[in-house]
């Protein structure tokens, strides 16, 4: 009888875990609510809260200035933001690392240097990253107008890395699938998102213990 109770408990825990975690994410799954955040300092000098986001589509992306995988896709992220100008889409980059070259002052320098055209905030508490289950930089999360998670993972199917000489290499060759762009477009047009989750690739997010 005790053995049966143990097996039953394990099965229940497994099912509960399956219901709240994605295929590649141990914390959240497609359809989960976007975590809220309050008064995160940004490179603009103004604090940003989740309640300030009124667009139909919100994209959160975990970034880290030092990461060659972030630097490799920087210009593609900027192009993505430009491609939805005039649409009800808001992109918010956020950093959680406590290393100096990923902090707010460094974020301002990096954003100006590469031409970031989106909100970029620093979450010293690291709570936003933890609640999203974010483990890599970059890692994308696309939310619909009800702030339900619609897509998470890679920007596209060939992650880009900046080499030490400043050149950029897409590790899987030419990009052929634009996951984030496709997800945003589907949400704006009321169509189905065919790929809702991919495994993020990049530098490890640096959480404090």
- CB 162, CB 68: distance < 8 Å: yes
pTM, two decimals, is 0.90
User: Given a cut of 80, is residue 62 above it in pLDDT?
Assistant: yes
Q: Say how many residues make up the chain.
A: 209
Sign of CA dihedral 80, 92, 194, 135: positive
pLDDT at position 22: 83
Phi, psi dihedral angles at 200 (to 5 degrees): -65, 150
How far is Cα of residue 85 from the mean position of the Cα atoms in its chain? 20
Tell me the per-residue pLDDT of 164-203, one tens digit each, with 9 for 90 and over. Answer: 999 999 999 999 999 999 999 999 999 999 999 999 999 9
Q: What are the chain's domains?
A: 2-204 (3.40.30.10)
User: Given a cut of 90, is residue 3 above it in pLDDT?
Assistant: no
How far is Cα of residue 105 from the mean position of the Cα atoms in its chain? 21
């Amino acid at each position: 009888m005790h053995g049966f109770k143990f097996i039953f408990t394990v099965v229940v825990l497994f099912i509960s875990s399956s219901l709240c975690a994605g295929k590649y994410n141990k914390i959240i799954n497609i359809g989960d609510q976007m975590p809220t955040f309050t008064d995160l300092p940004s490179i603009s000098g103004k604090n940003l809260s989740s309640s300030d986001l009124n667009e139909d589509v919100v994209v959160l992306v975990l970034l880290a200035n030092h990461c060659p995988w972030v630097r490799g896709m920087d210009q593609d992220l900027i192009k993505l933001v430009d491609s939805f100008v005039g649409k009800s889409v808001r992109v918010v980059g956020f950093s959680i690392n406590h290393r100096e070259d990923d902090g707010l002052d460094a974020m301002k320098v990096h954003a100006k240097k590469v031409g970031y055209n989106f909100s970029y905030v620093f979450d010293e508490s690291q709570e936003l990253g933890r609640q999203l289950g974010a483990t890599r930089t970059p890692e994308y999360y696309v939310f619909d107008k009800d702030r339900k998670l619609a897509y998470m993972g890679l920007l596209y199917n060939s992650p880009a890395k900046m080499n030490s000489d400043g050149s950029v290499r897409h590790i899987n060759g030419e990009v052929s699938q634009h996951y984030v762009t496709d997800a945003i477009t589907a949400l704006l047009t009321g169509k189905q998102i065919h790929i809702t989750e991919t495994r993020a690739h990049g530098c490890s997010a640096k959480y404090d213990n």
